[in-house]
Amino acid sequence: MLKRIDLNQEDIDSISSALSAASPANDDVEQTVLAVINDVKSRGDDALCHYAEKFDGFIPEDFRVSDAEIDEAFKNCEAGLIKAMEKTAGRVREFHKTQLHSGRSFNEGNLEVQTVYRPVTRAGCYVPGGRASYPSTVLMTVIPAVVAGVRDVIICTPPGQDNKISPAVLVAARIAGASSVFAIGGAQAISAMAYGTESIAAVDVIVGPGNIYVATAQRMVSQDVGIAAAFAGPSEIVVIADETANPKFAAIDLIVQAEHGPDGQSWLISPDEEILETILKEVKVLVNKSKRRQEIMSTFDRGGFAVLVKDLSQAFDVANTVAPEHLQLMIGNPENCLSLIQNAGAVFMGNMAPASVGDYYAGPSHVLPTDRSARFASALTISDFVKDIHIISMGADALREAAETITKIADAEGLDAHAESIRLRIEGLNDLA
């Protein structure tokens, strides 16, 4: 099920080749997405209706979900699920509050430089749907925006096969504090949030995971609207396992991210051939039992790899090359290996901390960098919704002290007005003396 790579026999460059082969072809995707973006920009709601019918199979009477429908969702949502979502929402909210920081300042004589933080005005959260329901993604995207102080936080999510948004998603939207929910998905939803339509006002920042079309649309509108630094596309996991790993646990954790469906990746890496083979046997057994076998196999067929390495050090070299969304360390004393990690969205330690804990409970957002963007990006945080504004105050004595430095640099750059703005003030101060 997983393609074998033996680094005892092959060069580590084979990992990069495998990554290239696993990546979906982008040319066709980009052409399709560009056509959708341009259509939504020019035709607004008419284009949304066209794509709703084309991709979702029906056109809602109103893209915005009414409060009455959300009230009904609470009635239809199982009480235990509501309680669980409220508990997770509390953990997510408290974690993101720890990221809040008041304005800091730098003082030197009569020169003061302050940094104040201002949230964006409107944020758009994309929540995948259609084949599955993801209330957890509502909590993990909306709550950080609300904690950051964003005034208007909207959700775009495609309806399911019954042409409705699941009650759990609507309940989560209210628990999280979303302003509005819109029944629209795909690249057309990203386009609507970026540029606005008659139904959906343009936002300042778009966050949230999605399929390759959604993620590509986010990249393509990034010059016109804020996009979280991480490329939040199809799910990925790397499991590093040694002889201390529980084979059944490792197998199910490889399947966990694969069950999201196509274009994801699942990597098993081990220096122990016996444990690697045992885990692969468990994977086969569990996949054959799964209700989402088709989705899992579609991931494994293109993005499933089992890598035999020489030692744990090389295992981390492979993991850092993959730069996965989720990195699971099913090894003895994993805390001793943290210094070897360079690229990962989130790290899960030992046999008892699966990625599902991060998906549903731990507190940090489960919106993590994918497609190797963990090389330069992090998990979604309140910083994705906040801007720094610098406020500079200066007294006469401080200006006199700084004048020569400023004018010399301005003169060297040939920017006379810059230098003159300082000289005129110094002359004014001298006249008053």
Catalytically active residues, by annotation: 325-326
Q: How many angstroms separate the CA atoms of 318 and 326, rounded?
A: 14
Nearest to 205 by CA among 216, 190, 215: 190
Nearest to 101 by CA among 381, 306, 323: 381
Letter string b/e over residues 129-159, b meaning 16 or more CB atoms within 10 A of that residue's CB:
bbeebbbbbbbbbbbbbbbbebebbbbbbbb
Q: How many angstroms separate the CA atoms of 397 and 302, rounded?
A: 67
SS3 of residue 289 by DSSP? helix
Q: How far is CA 150 from CA 98, 191, 203, 382, in A?
A: 17, 20, 11, 10
Nearest to 94 by CA among 151, 150, 139: 139
Q: How many angstroms separate the CA atoms of 203 and 14, rounded?
A: 42
Q: How far is CA 48 from CA 26, 35, 42, 59, 108, in A?
A: 23, 13, 11, 9, 55
